[in-house]
């Protein structure tokens, strides 16, 4: 049965909630007196539609129905979840709760997106305090999993569990905050960093750019996968968490931040943290944690590389500096032989549950070889920007042997045909002398404007003619032209 949520306040946060519910199949009713609310929510929905569904490896439910309501009572009547994201003024929030509790089901969850108020403050004087809970999200709400769920003693355990289950059902990670506190948990860290950052800018130590680089080129990448304590547990190594703390304990008295109010570093505190860390991560050895961490970092950094952003842009620059010498240009290559079009180590994120390089990554490597071949023939990024490119029409791959993460592989490419709009390449992948796979590709040159086949530029035709002439005496490769035969 389709569930319904009411979104009270439709800015970036309310819009993110609406998107999360809608794309997980809920109907959503919006109440927001802002005449721009409909436009704002539709912009968030555009972003969410392009990013959230593809995060899943299965289809999300059919998108729910979005409606806008002029009356609060109309928006909340009969809904399962009411999410309040109105401006951070307590008097306003209390007024909203009063109105909506007169109209909504007593069984509905009323979640507040507040970052600043404690649930006990929100429940004060309410018609049914037991129905109100803090459910604090993080922007972009349609992508980030964290929701801080902060109840009080007025909320029953069943109610809290129901709220968490509903959040989980739309893909969130509800973090139960057991003891209410100003700004909950995550925003306390953000506030501490924000305050320290303001000092650094004010004192001229660092600009906003420098501060952002200090975050995203180092500990930010770590924190995307392990938090503070698991990271330090790994850093502490075999000596363990107690040792790590003994080493950095004294620093609490030093001026390593402007924010100097510190807890006393007692044995009791050290034990408490070391024990909690054991419970959290003790099922893995330090060596295992290091490898989990490195697998995560490599995967994420390679994802950023594909976007050419942050740490990924640094990696791309380093590659560009290493490239000359690794891969020959048309003038450098011995054109009478297959041309080296790829040379690399198999990355950690190219392997699968069978422990070897997974099949689609063979095509990834062959596609890189095709790109490199096109590049040295003159079909480079400038040419592509000018409106022409080659599209692959057909591929045939033979898997002849296995390879594993870290192995050094190389692809050599023979051109079987390069004339007019047609390009026919035969790639051979080696690890040392061992032939791992062959990849045969048939491509067509297309106009990127009308997506139709057409001849490439004269310069590319001339480059391909050079290769044709030079490789003319190479034998037609074994395995080229093969098909998977119909079973007898």
Looking at residues 46 to 75 of the shown chain, list those that interact with a second copy (rule: CB under 8 A): 47, 49-51, 53-61
13 annotated as belonging to a binding site for a ligand:
yes
Residues numbered 11-50 forming contacts with a second copy, rule: CB under 8 A? 12, 43, 47, 49-50
Q: Which of 435, 475, 471, 476 is nearest to 339 (CA)?
A: 471
Locate 273 and state its tokens.
């943290």
* Residue-wise burial string across 335-366, b where 16 or more C-beta atoms lie within 10 A, e elsewhere: beebbbbbbbebebbbbeeeebbeeebbbebb
Nearer to a second copy, 221 or 335 (CB): 221
Residues numbered 71-110 forming contacts with a second copy, rule: CB under 8 A? none
Compute and round to an integer the Cα radius of gyration of the chain. Answer: 29
User: For residue 389, which phi and psi values (nearest 5 degrees)?
Assistant: -160, 170
Nearer to a second copy, 26 or 350 (CB): 350
Locate 120 and state its tokens.
């006990």
Nearer to a second copy, 73 or 181 (CB): 181
* 245 close to 270: Cβ distance less than 8 angstroms: yes
Q: Which of 127, 201, 459, 465 binds a second copy (CB under 8 A)?
A: 201
Count of residues that interact with a second copy, criterion CB under 8 A = 191
Q: Which of 161, 256, 452, 454 binds a second copy (CB under 8 A)?
A: 256
Q: How far is CA 84 from CA 18, 32, 96, 251, 371, in A?
A: 11, 10, 8, 42, 50
The strands making up 81-84's β-sheet, listed across from edge to edge, are: 66-68, 27-31, 4-8, 81-84, 109-112, 132-137, 146-150, 173-176
Under rule CB under 8 A, residue 474 binds a second copy:
no
Nearer to a second copy, 330 or 480 (CB): 480
Smallest gap from Cβ 132 to a second copy, in A, equals: 21
Smallest gap from Cβ 210 to a second copy, in A, equals: 6
d(CA 479, CA 376): 25
312 annotated as belonging to a binding site for a ligand:
no
Smallest gap from Cβ 6 to a second copy, in A, equals: 23
Nearer to a second copy, 29 or 118 (CB): 118
Under rule CB under 8 A, residue 478 binds a second copy:
no
Residue 178 CB-half CA count within 13 A: 0
Residues numbered 134-173 forming contacts with a second copy, rule: CB under 8 A? 138-140, 143-146, 148, 168-169, 171, 173
Under rule CB under 8 A, residue 472 binds a second copy:
no
Smallest gap from Cβ 451 to a second copy, in A, equals: 7
460 annotated as belonging to a binding site for a ligand:
no
Q: Which of 90, 259, 454, 462 binds a second copy (CB under 8 A)?
A: 259
Under rule CB under 8 A, residue 186 binds a second copy:
yes
Under rule CB under 8 A, residue 188 binds a second copy:
yes
Q: Which of 251, 454, 462, 465 binds a second copy (CB under 8 A)?
A: 251
> CB under 8 A: which stretch of 66-74, 75-83, 205-213, 328-336 binds a second copy?
205-213
Under rule CB under 8 A, residue 293 binds a second copy:
yes
Under rule CB under 8 A, residue 459 binds a second copy:
no
d(CA 9, CA 113): 10
Residues numbered 206-235 forming contacts with a second copy, rule: CB under 8 A? 206-230, 234-235
Nearer to a second copy, 31 or 117 (CB): 117
Under rule CB under 8 A, residue 291 binds a second copy:
yes
282 annotated as belonging to a binding site for a ligand:
no
What residues form the annotated binding site for NAD(+)?
A: 9-14
Q: Residues comprising the binding site?
A: 9-14
């Amino acid at each position: 049965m389709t569930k319904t949520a009411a979104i009270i306040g439709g800015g970036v946060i309310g819009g993110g909630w609406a998107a999360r519910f809608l794309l997980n199949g809920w109907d959503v009713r919006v109440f927001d007196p802002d005449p721009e609310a409909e436009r704002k929510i539709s912009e968030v929905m555009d972003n969410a539609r392009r990013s959230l569904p593809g995060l899943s490896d299965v289809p999300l439910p059919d998108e729910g129905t979005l409606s806008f309501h002029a009356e609060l009572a109309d928006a909340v009547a009969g809904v399962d979840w009411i999410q309040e994201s109105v401006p951070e003024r307590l008097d306003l929030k209390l007024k909203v709760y009063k109105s909506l509790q007169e109209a909504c089901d007593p069984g509905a969850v009323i979640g507040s997106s507040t970052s600043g108020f404690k649930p006990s403050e929100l429940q004060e004087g309410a018609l049914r305090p037991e129905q109100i809970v803090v459910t604090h999200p993080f922007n972009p709400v349609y992508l980030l999993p964290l929701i801080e769920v902060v109840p009080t003693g007025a909320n029953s355990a069943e109610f809290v569990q129901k709220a968490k289950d509903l959040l989980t059902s739309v893909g969130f990670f509800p973090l139960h905050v057991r003891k209410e506190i100003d700004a909950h948990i995550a925003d306390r860290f953000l506030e501490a960093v924000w305050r320290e950052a303001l000092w650094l800018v004010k004192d001229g130590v660092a600009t906003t750019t420098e501060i952002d680089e200090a975050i995203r080129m180092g500990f930010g990448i770590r924190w995307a996968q392990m938090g503070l304590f698991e990271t330090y547990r790994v850093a502490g190594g075999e000596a363990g968490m107690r040792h790590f703390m003994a080493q950095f304990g004294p620093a609490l008295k030093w001026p390593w931040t402007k924010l100097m109010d510190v807890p006393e570093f007692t044995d009791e505190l050290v034990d408490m943290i070391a024990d909690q860390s054991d419970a959290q991560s003790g099922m893995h050895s330090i060596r295992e944690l290091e490898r989990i961490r490195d697998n995560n970092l490599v995967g994420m950094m390679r994802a950023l590389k594909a976007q050419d952003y942050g740490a990924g842009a640094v990696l791309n620059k380093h590659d560009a500096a290493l490239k000359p010498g690794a891969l020959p240009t048309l003038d450098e290559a011995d054109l009478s032989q297959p041309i080296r079009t790829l040379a690399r180590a198999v990355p950690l994120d190219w392997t699968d549950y069978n422990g070897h390089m997974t099949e689609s990554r063979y095509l990834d490597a062959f596609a890189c070889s095709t790109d490199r071949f096109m590049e040295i023939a003159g079909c480079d990024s400038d040419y592509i920007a000018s409106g022409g490119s080659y599209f692959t029409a057909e591929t045939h791959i033979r898997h002849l042997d296995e390879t594993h993460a870290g192995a050094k592989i190389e692809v050599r490419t023979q051109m079987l045909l390069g004339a007019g709009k047609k390009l026919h390449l035969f790639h051979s992948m080696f690890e040392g002398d061992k032939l791992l796979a062959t990849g045969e590709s048939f491509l067509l040159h297309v106009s990127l404007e009308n997506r139709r086949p057409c001849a490439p530029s004269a310069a590319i035709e001339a480059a391909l003619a050079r290769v044709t002439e030079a490789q003319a005496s190479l034998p037609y490769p074994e395995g080229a032209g093969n098909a998977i035969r119909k079973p007898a």
